[in-house]
Structure 1
Amino acid sequence: MRWMWGLLRLRRAAASPLPPFMLKGIWQEAQIAVGGGQMYCTQSAESSRPIGRYPIPYKKDLPYDIVELMEEVETKSGFLPNVFKVLSHRPAEFRAFFAYYNAIMNKETGRLSKADRELIVVATSTTNRCPYCVIAHSALHRIYSKQPTLADQVTVNWELAELGPRELAILSFALAVTHAENITDEHFKKLEVHGFDREDAWDMAMVSAFFAMSNRIAHFTDLRPNKEFYTMGRLPKEKAEKS
């Protein structure tokens, strides 16, 4: 059955309208399956260092819904972020983690844009000294904001970054949550000046709090970022595909 699954993946890849650079990961994975192995890569492509300290399960041992989500992400992104591989060690926690992630990062209501949310992750994860989240979410911020250098500035010193008053207010509040400050009415009043209400403050706080947890999971599991994150959003798409 494993070789049949691998052959099906190869056929799908061959018939896919996706560009070649996005098919590479799918093609390699399918070839491995044809050869009899179905384990996700546990090492980064550019070094011998493992992507985490816990074993990565074989695909055949994972629940179908988790494999389906992984394949969807890999197809859309062109690679599978290592956080999916590492957290698959605990399927029930995997589901809970990504369900909450989706609820706070992909919601369509409120005054925070996707770029705003990613900037919060970059700033708070920098404070929490989390390489995986800083590098991965800097890449997402570059894509959503179309600003290739702003996340880099925030990782060095957010107060000196080229941020407007609105963004400074967002990060100031989010970092107060990260630092476990006593949140007072003054914090909310500073947000109100920029048109944010208490529901928006909730959104900022939840992103900050969730990634405080995420940062610590990344530390504990020794989660390493994919090499693809480093260049995402830095070059126009046409140039990136040629490089």
Structure 2
Amino acid sequence: MNKPATPPPEPAVSRFPVPRLEDMPEDIRARITAVQEKSGFIPNVFLVLAHRPDEFRAFFAYHDALMDKPGNLTKAEREMIVVATSNANQCQYCVIAHGAILRIRAKDALIADQVAVNYRKADITPRQKAMLDFAMKVSATAHEVGDADFTALSAHGFTEDDIWDIAGISAFFGLSNRMANVTSMRPNPEFYAMGR
């Protein structure tokens, strides 16, 4: 008589130790609990980065300053930058997680896949393509950024503050992408269906 197959173990969310929620500092635990209450689950990025509490606080402070601020870039456009550059950096976690957020913010079930695979063919505006061209340049060859890039972006109505935001988001997620890859951070299954 054959025994029923044992399901494979759940893959680890990180190759580094992940602290238990009850062992985390109070401020970090409170932030994670608030996210869990809002979304219904804890995104693995919070658990993985809680391994280093001071860096967790700095990371999310900078994340929030870039992603939640008012300005000429919409929240969906900010997520487009994350998805396009994260794909170029081969960051599975950020493409999946921020792709879900992009679908929700843009109210478009197709946009995240289009932007991740090839934003130049995506159903986005010429202004958004110029924004992503610059974000990709910052991500891959920032040393080549020059006055011509500012002129091109200005022609699409981007201000100096907008250009700083595009560059900041691209650069910040370069850090995030690399740490997600080094830690082997796994996307939560919930992200795959969000906004579809």
**What TM-score bracket applies, with the shorter chain setting the length?**
over 0.9
Structure 1 distance, partners of 2:184, 2:48, is 9
Q: Which residue of 2 aligns with 1:153?
A: 114
CA deviation after TM superposition for structure 1 residue 193, in Å: 1.1
Superposed CA offset, 1:112-153 (max 9, x none)? 000000000000000000000000000000000001101101
Correspondent of 2:54 among 83, 87, 92: 92
Aligned residue for 2:193?
Answer: 231
Name the CA distance, whole Å, in 2 between partners of 1:96 and 1:194: 33
Q: 1:219 aligns with which of 166, 169, 181?
A: 181
Matches within 5 A, 1:98-177: 98-108=60-70, 110-177=71-138
Structure 1: gaps (5+ residues): 1-45, 235-243
Structure 1 CA distance for aligned equivalents of residues 192 and 9 of structure 2? 15
Deviation per CA, 1:30-71: give whole Å up to 9, x if none: xxxxxxxxxxxxxxxx96211111111123321100000000
Q: Which amino acid aligns with 2:194?
A: M
The equivalent of 1:72 in structure 2 is 34
Q: What's the Cα RMSD here? A: 1.1
The CA deviation at 1:210 is: 0.2
Identity of aligned residues (%): 52
Partners of 1:112 and 1:59 lie apart in 2 by 34
Give the counterpart letter for 1:56 in structure 2: V
1:75, 1:100 → 2: CA distance? 22
Count of aligned pairs: 188
Give every structure 1 segment of 4 or more consecutive aligned residues whose post-TM-superposition deviation is greater than 6 Å: none
Residues 182-215 of structure 1 show CA distances to partners (whole Å, capped at 9, x for unaligned) of: 1111101111111111110000000000000000
Match of 1:60 among 22, 29, 38: 22
1:222-242 deviations in Å (ceiling 9; x for gaps): 0000000000000xxxxxxxx
| Larger Cα-atom Rg | 1
Q: Distance in 1 between matches of 2:9 and 2:39?
A: 21
Higher RCO, 1 or 2 (CA under 8 Å, sep at least 6)?
A: 2
| Contiguous gaps of at least 5 residues in structure 2 | 1-7
